[in-house]
Amino acid sequence: MISKNNLKNQDVITPEYDSNGRLVRKIRSFVLREGRLTKGQELAIEQFWSLYGITYKESRIDFKNLFKNDNEVVLEIGFGMGSSLVQMALENPNKNFIGIEVHKPGVGSCIKQIEENNVKNLKVICHDAVEVLNSMIDDKSIDKFQIFFPDPWHKAKHHKRRIIQQAFVQLLLRKLKEGGTIHLATDWENYSEHMLEVLSSFKILRNLSQTNDFIERPNERPLTKFENRGIKLGHKVFDIKFQKSYKEL
């Protein structure tokens, strides 16, 4: 298994309401298992958060003002240590990238890499993705969502904790532009089948695979050392990509 188990998880996948319709328990996109920050990661956050970080608050992000352009916006949920996200931003200077991660060592690592590589088109948020989407992201404002190697929660009794669920995808669809895409990747076949089933259940989404299942890893998704090591060990990786219809169904 090559999934980053301690980085991207979902605690609850269905919100609960009382008799008056008030939210009792929030959907969360993770289970926080905090690791220790290295000195370099801690220093990166202290010195460069004001340049590359977006502090969570209940107000919408103005992407045009944030990036000083009208380029399309790619939002990655759970970027781990940030290496592949930084590489994507470097290779795609005409796109804007937002990364959401709750794991502070990962956030520190990503910010450190952003500064070292002088990346101008990437910002990071250290907060629960569901709350960020609900409070900070306008509807129909994101061109692409990407979630790579989320925790598979491989035991059947834990499948309900998987981040890719009906309620979560419905939230992504609200924030996704017409014609926008959702790109997922996992190294767990059972989870890949679950992902495919969930996304296929939405009529507004079209599978971009010619065989109506998985796609070859696109060049836009960097092959990380972590993933490459798993492939050499015989682990298969599944990429899934769906596009939102230009017409609401």
Residues 6+ apart with CB under 8 A from 128: 28, 29, 30, 102
Is 14 annotated to bind ligand? no
Tokens of 38: 């290295």
Is 187 annotated to bind ligand? yes
Is 216 annotated to bind ligand? no
β-strand pairing of 16-17 with 23-25:
antiparallel
Is 226 annotated to bind ligand? yes
Helical segments of the chain, H only = 39-52, 63-67, 83-91, 104-116, 129-136, 166-175, 189-200, 225-232
Q: Give 23's strand partners.
A: 17
Is 227 annotated to bind ligand? yes
Can 151 be counted among the known catalytic residues?
yes
Is 225 annotated to bind ligand? yes
Catalytic residue from among 138, 151, 213, 239: 151
Give me the sheet containing 96-100, strands edge to edge: 122-125, 96-100, 73-77, 142-148, 176-186, 238-244, 205-207
Tokens of 130: 């569901």
The annotation places the binding site at 76, 101, 128, 151, 155, 187, 224-227
The annotation places the binding site for S-adenosyl-L-methionine at 76, 101, 128, 151
Catalytic residues: 151
The annotation places the binding site for substrate at 155, 187, 224-227
